[in-house]
Amino acid sequence: MVKNLLNSGHSVVVWNRTATKCRKFQEVGAEVADTPSDVIEMTDVTFSCVADPQVAKELVFENCGVMSANLVGKGYVEMTGVDPETSHDIAEQIISKGGRYLEAQIQGSKNQAEEGTLIILAAGERVLFEECQICFEAISRNSLYMGDVGNATKMNLVLQMISGVMLAGIAEGLALANRAGLQQKDVLEVLELTSMSSELVMQKGNAIIKGEFPPQQELKHMQKDLKLALNLAEGLEHPLPITAASNEVYKHAKCLGYGSHDSSAV
């Protein structure tokens, strides 16, 4: 995303908890800040994209974090995959200091990020959403505004839940086919002819058959999203038995050391 923003002519300031990760962006024209608060001071709009809700909150609330900066008139866009509660907490604090807030959840793979063809689900300040279009156009093929803060995070968790459950089903089905003496490639060939065929099914199915899992979305991040979806459902007293079972499969895969592999390693 950073490279696509630079290639589109934007001035970009970057910061990372691991400073060495900024070097490749500095080499192609990005400026490197020392702290998150420095990023706020040096830019009009800040995009946050980190590992999980806890890190997203640390970025905002810890020493030299976002809240240490002068936020008056500054835009803050949370792109980390977070739960609605975390997004509301961050929004409340940003707005309390005169800032402007938008959650912008990302749907897509690593390849789509590189190609600038992500889908962005946004909620929060509508004017900030419109102002961010010039940036969103550089990194995505579509951006959708979903209204109040929390709506985009909910939508993202629903989509991730569906994807995670589907992927666990593909893996389990191919495992059964193999145990039953069927050729897994034959299963995919038949699937491709049916209404069940999709880009996800074919790409992940082929990865499973080959046993090759270069990360497009890391398995640990998929499991994180399933957990967040389950937490959301718990607060609404809504049962998700299939998602709960799938979450256990991903947790087991993490225990086996596949957390940093693609989610198809499930």
Pairwise CA distance, residues 119 & 108, whole Å: 6
pLDDT-derived band at 146 (thresholds 50, 70, 90) equals very high
Taken in order 71, 86, 52, 101, the sign of the CA dihedral is negative
| Pair 46, 138 in one domain | yes
| Pair 181, 113 in one domain | no
The predicted structure's pLDDT at residue 177: 98
3-state secondary structure of 140: strand
Residue 121's CATH number: 3.40.50.720
Number of domains the chain contains:
2
Pairwise CA distance, residues 138 & 1, whole Å: 8
| Pair 198, 252 in one domain | yes
The predicted structure's pLDDT at residue 98: 99
> Where among 148, 165, 183 does a domain terminate?
148
CA proximity to 79, closest of 103, 51, 44, 45: 103
| Pair 144, 16 in one domain | yes
pLDDT in tens, 4-41: 999 999 999 999 999 999 999 999 999 999 999 999 99
| Pair 19, 122 in one domain | yes
The predicted structure's pLDDT at residue 145: 99
| Pair 11, 142 in one domain | yes
Domain that holds residue 252: 154-265
> Where among 148, 181, 213 does a domain terminate?
148
Instruction: Report residue 256 as tokens.
Output: 């086996």
| Pair 112, 202 in one domain | no
Query: Which residues, other chains included, contact 49 with Cβ-Cβ below 8 Å and sequence gap of 6+?
Result: 1, 79, 80, 106
Residue 243's CATH number: 1.10.1040.10
For tokens 């839940």, what's the residue?
Answer: 161
| Pair 6, 134 in one domain | yes
Average pLDDT over residues 163-170: 98
pLDDT in tens, 81-123: 999 999 999 999 999 999 999 999 999 999 999 999 999 999 9
The predicted structure's pLDDT at residue 172: 97
The predicted structure's pLDDT at residue 244: 99
pLDDT in tens, 230-262: 999 999 999 999 999 999 999 999 999 999 999
| Pair 142, 212 in one domain | no
The predicted structure's pLDDT at residue 5: 98
> Where among 122, 148, 174 does a domain terminate?
148
The predicted structure's pLDDT at residue 109: 94
Average pLDDT over residues 205-210: 97
| Pair 136, 176 in one domain | no
Q: Side chain identity at 44, as an amino acid letter?
A: D
| Pair 158, 187 in one domain | yes
pLDDT in tens, 42-70: 999 999 999 999 999 999 999 999 999 99
The predicted structure's pLDDT at residue 46: 99
On whether the CB atoms of residues 200 and 166 are closer than 8 A, the answer is yes
| Pair 174, 200 in one domain | yes
Pairwise CA distance, residues 29 & 48, whole Å: 19
